[in-house]
Each structure stands twice: as structure tokens, then as C-alpha cells.
Chain A
Amino acid sequence: MSKKYKLKRLLVRRYQILAAILFILAAGLVLLPKYKKNEGIAPDLFVKNIISSERYISTDLLADRLVNQDPTVLLIDTRSEKEFNDYALPNAVNIPLKDLLNENFDGYINQDVYDVILYSNENFYADQAWIISNRLGYQNLYVLKGGLNEWFNTIINPKMPEETEPKEAFDLYSFRKAAGMYFGVGIVKSEVKKEIKKKKPTRKVITVKKKKKRVPEGGC
């Protein structure tokens, strides 16, 4: 009897109770402790990403992919424009580090079609560019290990292995030499008879769709 009575009394006040719930929820929003939101990924994930060396691609691997005309490679030069104009890897696109977040370049670094390979003279600037992009959660980005210096030391001007070294070293050496020639800059020794292909660093013509701003679509 008393139980039924209690329920009845509760039901009489049902709207008050519902209003109270709404009120509590709204007040909860005000009272909940505020915290600052992250832009991009969370720090713990970020640490995991930056200590991993998965992002590095070796010069030999890159050379191999370029020689085979791998269509999924997109090279990005993070050096200054001047340096880029002096010399750049074939088909590279110049995005100076300071313009990395320029929205015109967003289409290059925030995409899922190409393997984007960042390089600079060393891999310091390229690495910084990679880290910033990683923070924003961009995928498919790599860094050329050692940068252009390493590229020159291994591909353009490879060191002759010692005679005592295993056969693999010689294979690698011959590959590097061939690749170096492919890129048109083999340090030509007299015995070279092969025709040297010259590859101008043609710039990729890439049309990037302009970022769509919130266009006020005329309402109704």
C-alpha cells in the first residue's frame, strides 16, 4: 500500500524530476573540470611515433624506386627555395619548412595516394616537418635518411668497397653506380661507355584542389 502511494507521489512530481535532470545535466557542463584540448594526436601516441625509425627510408631504397619509376613516390624538398632551384632530386616539389602549414601545400602532405618522401640536406629539417605533420595525424609520410648528403655519398658518389668485403657490398656498389648514372651524375671514369641519360629535375605539375572553405551555401 505504502509502496504504491510512494510511486504515485513520485509520478505527480514527474515533470519536476525531469526538469531537475535537465538542470543537473546543464549544470554539470558548467561544473565539470575543464581541460585543454589537443590539436592532433595525443602526446603518448606521439612519443611512440617519434622514437620509431619506421619513418626513415634509405637512399638505396629511394634510388631503386625512382629508377623503377614507381608512380607512388612523391618527393618533397623542405629546403629553401634558393637551394631547391640550385639542385633538387628529380620531380621533387619544394615546400620550404616555414611554409609547411600553408594551406596551398596541404594537398601534398595530407593525402593518402602517394608515399611522400621528405628530404633536406640532412634529415634534420625533413624530420621536423615529419614530426609536425605527424602531430596533425597525416599519413604516408617518410623521411630520406641522411638527406641529400647521404644521397650524394651513396648514390652519386659511392665508395668502392674493400676487396675483403662480401659480395653483397659489391652488388650494392654496382647498383649505386648504375643508379648514379641514371640520375645523370655518375662521376665518370674513363671506362664509361654507356649513354648517359640526362634527367632534368622537371618539376611535377601538380594541381591541388583549393581547400574548400566553409562556403555559406545559401541556406534553404
Chain B
Amino acid sequence: MKELEKTKRISISAVLFLLIVTIAILTFEKPKYVFEKNTEAILNEVNNNNYILTLNQLDSIEQSQYQVVDIRSNFEYSKGHINDAINISTHDILVSENMDLFDDLKENSKTAVLYGKNPNEANSAWMLLYQLGYENAKILCVETNYIDNKFQVSNHALEKPAVNFAQVIKLAKSKSAKAKAKPVSKPTKSKKVITVKKKKKRVPEGGC
């Protein structure tokens, strides 16, 4: 018996398929900003410390080669800021005028020198910019504070331990040992065993 072909259903479904795709494309909004760098790249950059400028290093660069950017809030900026600095708070970096400005800096190969209350604050903004592809951004490693209501900039020693932790601990222990006549009984804690299970993020397996 000859197979009878019905085309009504296929026509209808094909038209529906086309409609769905069209609607999906029309409603689709292309993301405005896309990260250029993946996390590997940013991690590499973070680890080779090229992105940190001290005040002295900044002085050695020609004035026309960089633009200082204050990433604190407008309020803080109006209280006092580094000379010639412009104000773009971290929150407003993705505003298009500000992006244009960074684009300009990038084209003219000028360095965007970011600073905030401390390097840590500038770091967020720097990481954002770097991941968006602005390799010309750098962090000015300074602290800003107010002494007698005057704006002060001072160098900041990054990630420097305040004290030698190990030594302090040792010292404290020897002191406590001295203070005690009796030997300190050391309650041995049972080792805490924690199993971290991988988050269920199963890679799809195949099969046929």
C-alpha cells in the first residue's frame, strides 16, 4: 500500500518553528559589554604584579602618558582628590560616556591610573576594566585619608604582614609557659575531618 503523505501538520509546525525562532531573535538583546578576558588571563595578570604603580613610579612617567581616575564616590571626590584626577566611581564604569573615555585612553595608549581609599578599593575597578579588555588600567598603590581635613595621599605597603605572625605566636607561647608554673596541659583536639564533595555539576556523559 502506498504511503499517504499528509503535509498539513508539517506545514503548520514548520511555520510555528520559524515564528518561534523569529520571536526569540527579535526579543534577544545582545549583551552590551562582554568580558574580553577569561578568568585564566585575569589570574595570570593578577599574579605578575605589573598592574601596580607606586607614587614614585607614577612620578617617573610623563604627565601626558597617564590619566588619574578617582574611583571613589562623587561625595568623597568633592572633598578632596589628587590633582588632575577625574572621578568615575566603580559603580559608573559601565556608563557609556565613561566607557568612551576609557576607550579614548586605550586608543591613545595612555595609562588609566586608578586609585581609591586604598588599593583594595581600586582593585575591584581595575579587575573589571582589565576583564573588559582595558589592559592600560593600573592601580595606584596608595591610601588616601584626611589629616586635619586635608586630603593626604600616602604609599601603601601591599599585603605586608603587620607583624611577624609566627614570631608573635611563639613569643606569646613562651610567655604563657613562663607565666605558668605548671606545665600546660595540652588538650589534643581530635582532628576535624571534613569532606568537601564536589558540587553536583555533572559533565554529561554519552552513550548511544
Among B11, B161, B184, residue most surrounded by chain A Cβ atoms (within 10 Å): B161
Mark contacts of B194-205 with chain A using CB atoms, 8 A cut-off: 1 yes-contact digit, 0 otherwise: 111111011101
> Residue A185 contacts which of B30, B39, B173 (CB distance < 8 angstroms)?
B173
- Chain B minimum-CB-distance residue to A185: B172
In the complex, whether A166 has a CB less than 8 A from a CB of chain B is no
In the complex, whether B58 has a CB less than 8 A from a CB of chain A is no
Residues of chain B within 8 A (CB-CB) of A212 are 202-203
Stretch in B78-86, B90-98, B102-110 with 4+ CB within 8 Å of A: B90-98
In the complex, whether A135 has a CB less than 8 A from a CB of chain B is yes
Question: Known interface pairs A35-B34, A121-B160, A197-B187. Does A132 touch B198 (Cβ–Cβ under 8 Å)?
Answer: no
> B172 to chain A: closest CB distance in Å?
4
Q: Is the CB of A86 within 8 A of B166?
A: yes
Residues of chain B within 8 A (CB-CB) of A160 are none
Find residues 114-158 in chain A having any chain B CB closer than 8 Å to their own CB: 114, 120-125, 127-128, 131-132, 135-136, 147-149, 152-153, 156-157
Question: Known interface pairs A18-B14, A135-B131, A220-B207. Does A148 touch B165 (Cβ–Cβ under 8 Å)?
Answer: yes
* Interface size grouping (class) on chain A: 35 or more
Interface residue count on the B side (C-beta < 8 Å): 72
Mark contacts of B150-185 with chain A using CB atoms, 8 A cut-off: 1 yes-contact digit, 0 otherwise: 000000001111110110110011011001100011
Q: Is the CB of B176 within 8 A of A111?
A: no
Judged by DSSP, the binding face of A is loop
In the complex, whether B144 has a CB less than 8 A from a CB of chain A is no
Residues of chain A within 8 A (CB-CB) of B120 are 122-124, 127
Chain B positions near chain A (C-beta within 8 angstroms): 7, 10-11, 14-15, 17-18, 21, 25, 30-36, 38-40, 42-43, 46-47, 90-91, 93-94, 119-120, 123-124, 127-128, 131-132, 158-163, 165-166, 168-169, 172-173, 175-176, 179-180, 184-187, 189, 191-199, 201-203, 205-208
Chain A positions near chain B (C-beta within 8 angstroms): 11, 14-15, 17-18, 21-22, 24-25, 28, 32-33, 35-40, 42-44, 46-47, 50-51, 71, 74, 79, 83, 86-87, 91, 97-98, 100-101, 106-108, 110-114, 120-125, 127-128, 131-132, 135-136, 147-149, 152-153, 156-157, 184-188, 190, 192, 195-200, 202, 204-209, 211-217, 219-220
